[in-house]
Amino acid sequence: MSRTKILVTGGAGYIGSHAVVELYEAGFQPIIVDNFSNSQESALRGVEEILGVRVPLHRIDCNDAEALRAVFAEEGSLRGVIHFAASKAVGESLQKPLEYYQNNVGSLLTLLQVMREFGVEALVFSSSCTVYGIPDALPVTEQTPTKKANSPYGATKQMCEDILRDVAAAPGNTLRTILLRYFNPIGAHASAKIGELPLGVPQNLIPYVTQTAAGIREQLTVYGDTYDTPDGTNIRDYVHVVDLAKAHVVAVQRLLDKQGETVETFNVGTGRGNSVLEVVHAFERATGQKLNYKIGPARAGDVPAIYADVTKSVEVLGFQTTTTLEESLASAWKWQQTLGK
Ligand SMILES: O=c1ccn([C@@H]2O[C@H](COP(=O)(O)OP(=O)(O)O[C@H]3O[C@H](CO)[C@H](O)[C@H](O)[C@H]3O)[C@@H](O)[C@H]2O)c(=O)[nH]1
């Protein structure tokens, strides 16, 4: 029996590569589109080693409508798209707003246009808990009002969500969309053949932690300990990347089964909040490594605390994470060790 083809934009990236593995293992045929602007070919070798097969790759930019059309035409019979391809660095987006709007919003518009031309009617979109801004109450549900984004990156995620809701509401619309609002993805595949590949100095907590433990970085700076949280450091919901990848498989299946509304939103997190210091100590417990860290000043723009209410994703989507924080951190460390110095 032939596999159902799903286009995965950004399929060589951190979350995308893990999703490609989970899709294939669930019986789908992922087709990767990537421009390698923030990803590396080595991720695809890792995917190949895990699966024992080559996954088709198209090296194109999602802003290039003609190139995208050629992919849809060549592949034929695509049933759905998972759109990971986007720029994701909050700080960088403040420096390069135009690039972020073009890359994130522009590429979605182009993709939607081409999907319509080819009659592809299922889309999973990578959104982010950043759309909630600084929430008034915790945990956040999908009904929690969104707040004005404090970076162009966050604004692009809100705009893309709005675009997809408007498309769904238009008369005659046939597109079905699931918006997955990711909390903080961490960790790596159990095989340690794929994982996060930050370029340069990591901006995110976990790669900074693992690089510090590996001796690549001198010391982790914990950004502030005077927040209104139990230990004064920021609280986040750290979700294992393989769990997160699996949420996409469930979402794609739901779209193909035509269940639910034409556009649906789900939080993808563990439902647990952990402080930065809890992460540091969980890492030490999980790996036996002592972490060199200091408390530094708060980072501008950080949300004091956010974690997911996962009731809807459990009850409606039928999705639940299974990996503990310690397991996630151990997988991140195992992956870091394969990278060397
Ligand atoms: O060296 C560091 C790095 C991070 N942190 C703290 O660790 C927590 C997590 O920080 P990350 O940078 O890993 O992630 P954010 O919570 O800032 O998330 C942001 O980046 C994510 C991916 O890059 C998502 O896109 C998300 O939407 C966006 O808000 C924060 O409290 C941050 O202050 C430190 O203390 N030291």
| Rounded distance from Cα 104 to ligand 1 centre (Å) | 20
Taking 80 as the threshold, does the pLDDT of residue 1 lie above it?
A: no
In a domain, 23, yes or no: yes
In whole angstroms, give the CA distance from residue 94 to residue 90.
7
The verdict on residue 259 lying in a domain is yes
Number of structural domains the chain divides into:
1
Whether residue 326 lies inside any domain: the answer is no
Q: Are 162 and 265 in contact (CB under 8 A)?
A: no
Q: What is the CATH number of the domain that holds 258?
A: 3.40.50.720
Question: 301 falls in which pLDDT band (50, 70, 90)?
Answer: confident
- The DSSP code for 19 is H
In a domain, 301, yes or no: no
24 is a catalytic site residue: no
On whether residue 280 sits in a domain, the answer given is no
Torsions phi, psi for 57 (to 5 deg): -130, 135
In 41-96, where does DSSP find H-type helix? 41-51, 65-75, 90-95
pLDDT digits (tens, 9 = 90+) for 320-334: 999 999 999 999 999
Q: Dump pLDDT digits (tens) for 90-134.
A: 999 999 999 999 999 999 999 999 999 999 999 999 999 999 999
Q: Is residue 171 part of a domain?
A: yes
Helices and strands in the chain, H and E counts: 12, 13
The pLDDT assigned to 138 comes to: 97
Ligand 1 binding pocket mutation candidate from 14, 132, 203, 205 (most atoms within 8 A of CB):
205
What is the b/e burial string over 106-142, where b = at least 16 CB atoms within 10 angstroms of the residue's CB? bbbebbbebbeebebbbbbbbbbbbbbbebeebbbeb
Residues 213, 237: Cα–Cα separation, whole Å: 22
**What burial class does residue 31 get, using C-beta atoms within 10 Å of its C-beta: 0-12 exposed, 13-18 middle, 19+ buried?**
buried
**Range(s) of the domain holding residue 63:** 4-186+238-269
Q: Active-site residue among 24, 153, 238, 293?
A: 153
Q: Is residue 329 assigned to a domain?
A: no
Q: Is residue 293 part of a domain?
A: no
Half-sphere exposure of 68 (CA within 13 A, CB side): 26
